[in-house]
Structure 1
Amino acid sequence: MNARAPRHLHLNVNILHSGFVPSAWRLPGADPRAFIDVAHYVRVAQIAEAAKFDAVFLADNASIADQIDFRPITALEPTVLLASIAAATTHIGLIGTASTSYNEPYNIARRFSTLDHVSGGRAGWNIVTTADAGSARNFGLDAAPDHAQRYARAAEFTDVVKALWQSWEDDAFVGDKTGGRFIDTDKVHPVAHRGEYFNVQGPLNLPRTPQGYPVLVQAGGSADGRDLAARHAEAVFSASQSFEESAAYRGDLLARAAAHGRGPEAIRVLPGLTTIVGATEADALRRRDELVELIPWRYSLTRLAGTLGIAPERLQLDERLPDDLPLPAAGNGNHTFFHATLAQARQHGYTARQLIRALAGGGGHRVVVGTPEQIADDIERWFRGGAADGFNLMPDALPGGLQDFVDGVVPILQRRGLFRTEYEGSTLREHLRLAQPPDRRTSQQRRAAIAT
Structure 2
Amino acid sequence: MSELKKKKQVHLNVFFRAAGHHASAWRHPKTTPELSFDFDYYKKLAQTAERGLLDSLFMADGYVGTGRRLEPFTLLSALSAVTTNIGLIGTVGTTYNEPFHVARKFASLDHISGGRAGWNIVTGHTDTTAYNFGKESHLEHSKRYKWAEEFVEVTKQLWDSWEQEALVFDKQTGVQFDESKLHEINYRGDTYSVKGPLNIPRPPQGYPVLVQAGSSESGRELAARTAEVIFTAQPTLEEGQLFYTDVKSRLAKYGREKDQLLILPGFSPIIGNTAAEAQELEDELNSFHDANEAVARLSERFGIDLTGYPLDGPIPSIIDAKGIDSVNGSKSRHQLILDMLRSDTSLTLRQVVNKLASARGHLTFTGTPIQAADVIEKWINNDAADGFNLMPPIYPDGLEIFVDKVVPELQNRGIFRTEYEGASLRENLGLSYPANSFQAKLTSAK
User: TM tier, shorter chain?
Assistant: over 0.9
Amino acid at match of 1:323: I
Partner residue, 1:61: 62
CA 1:87–1:370 in 2, change beyond 3 Å: closer, same or farther? same
User: Which secondary structure state, in structure 1, belongs to the residue aligned with residue 149 of structure 2?
Assistant: helix
Partner residue, 1:167: 161
Partner residue, 1:359: 356
Query: Quick check: 1:230 aligned with 2:227?
Result: no
Mapped partners of 2:6, 2:122: distance in 1: 31
User: Which secondary structure state, in structure 1, belongs to the residue aligned with residue 361 of structure 2?
Assistant: coil
Could you state the TM-score of these two structures normalised by the residue count of structure 1? 0.92
- Map 1:45-124 onto structure 2 (within 5 A): 45-64=46-65, 74-124=68-118
Partner residue, 1:33: 34
CA 1:54–1:192 in 2, change beyond 3 Å: closer, same or farther? same
Superposed displacement of residue 445, structure 1: 5.5
Mapped partners of 2:267, 2:303: distance in 1: 23
User: Which secondary structure state, in structure 2, belongs to the residue aligned with residue 108 of structure 1?
Assistant: helix
User: Which secondary structure state, in structure 1, belongs to the residue aligned with residue 176 of structure 2?
Assistant: strand
CA 1:206–1:7 in 2, change beyond 3 Å: closer, same or farther? farther
Whether the aligned pair in 2 keeps the contact of 1:93 and 1:427 (CA below 8 Å) is yes
User: Which secondary structure state, in structure 2, belongs to the residue aligned with residue 405 of structure 1?
Assistant: helix
Mapped partners of 1:310, 1:165: distance in 2: 47
Partner residue, 1:415: 412
Partner residue, 1:332: 328
Superposed displacement of residue 416, structure 1: 0.3
Query: Quick check: 1:273 aligned with 2:274?
Result: no
Partner residue, 1:193: 187
Mapped partners of 2:433, 2:393: distance in 1: 34
Amino acid at match of 2:329: G
Partner residue, 2:378: 381
Amino acid at match of 1:9: V
Q: Count the aligned residue pairs.
A: 439
Whether the aligned pair in 1 keeps the contact of 2:248 and 2:261 (CA below 8 Å) is yes
Partner residue, 1:291: 285
Q: Which runs of 5+ in 2 are unaligned?
A: none
User: Which secondary structure state, in structure 2, belongs to the residue aligned with residue 18 of structure 1?
Assistant: coil
Partner residue, 1:429: 426
Superposed displacement of residue 303, structure 1: 4.1
Whether the aligned pair in 2 keeps the contact of 1:327 and 1:333 (CA below 8 Å) is no
> What CA deviation, in whole Å up to 9, does each residue of 1:164-201 have, x standing for no partner?
11111111111212222111110110111111111111
Query: Quick check: 1:20 aligned with 2:17?
Result: no
Partner residue, 1:401: 398
Whether the aligned pair in 2 keeps the contact of 1:295 and 1:361 (CA below 8 Å) is no
CA 1:82–1:312 in 2, change beyond 3 Å: closer, same or farther? farther
Superposed displacement of residue 103, structure 1: 0.4
Amino acid at match of 1:395: P
User: Which secondary structure state, in structure 1, belongs to the residue aligned with residue 180 of structure 2?
Assistant: helix
CA 1:368–1:326 in 2, change beyond 3 Å: closer, same or farther? same
Partner residue, 1:183: 177
Superposed displacement of residue 337, structure 1: 1.4
User: Which secondary structure state, in structure 2, belongs to the residue aligned with residue 383 of structure 1?
Assistant: helix
> What CA deviation, in whole Å up to 9, does each residue of 1:186-232 have, x standing for no partner?
01101111111111111111111221120100011111111111110
Whether the aligned pair in 2 keeps the contact of 1:12 and 1:55 (CA below 8 Å) is yes
CA 1:32–1:186 in 2, change beyond 3 Å: closer, same or farther? same
Superposed displacement of residue 17, structure 1: 1.1
Mapped partners of 1:84, 1:308: distance in 2: 40
User: Which secondary structure state, in structure 2, belongs to the residue aligned with residue 101 of structure 1?
Assistant: coil
CA 1:343–1:231 in 2, change beyond 3 Å: closer, same or farther? same
User: Which secondary structure state, in structure 2, belongs to the residue aligned with residue 359 of structure 1?
Assistant: helix
Whether the aligned pair in 1 keeps the contact of 2:370 and 2:406 (CA below 8 Å) is yes
Mapped partners of 1:302, 1:163: distance in 2: 46
Partner residue, 1:254: 248
Partner residue, 1:319: 314
Superposed displacement of residue 98, structure 1: 0.6
Amino acid at match of 1:341: I
Of 116-125 and 351-360, deviating more is: 351-360
Whether the aligned pair in 2 keeps the contact of 1:337 and 1:365 (CA below 8 Å) is no
Amino acid at match of 2:344: H
Whether the aligned pair in 1 keeps the contact of 2:289 and 2:354 (CA below 8 Å) is no
Mapped partners of 1:223, 1:448: distance in 2: 38
CA 1:184–1:309 in 2, change beyond 3 Å: closer, same or farther? farther
> What CA deviation, in whole Å up to 9, does each residue of 1:62-116 have, x standing for no partner?
100xxx6xxxx53311111101111111110000001101100100111111100
Mapped partners of 1:226, 1:324: distance in 2: 27
Mapped partners of 1:91, 1:340: distance in 2: 35
User: Which secondary structure state, in structure 1, belongs to the residue aligned with residue 36 of structure 2?
Assistant: helix
Superposed displacement of residue 440, structure 1: 2.7
Partner residue, 1:443: 440
Partner residue, 1:147: 141
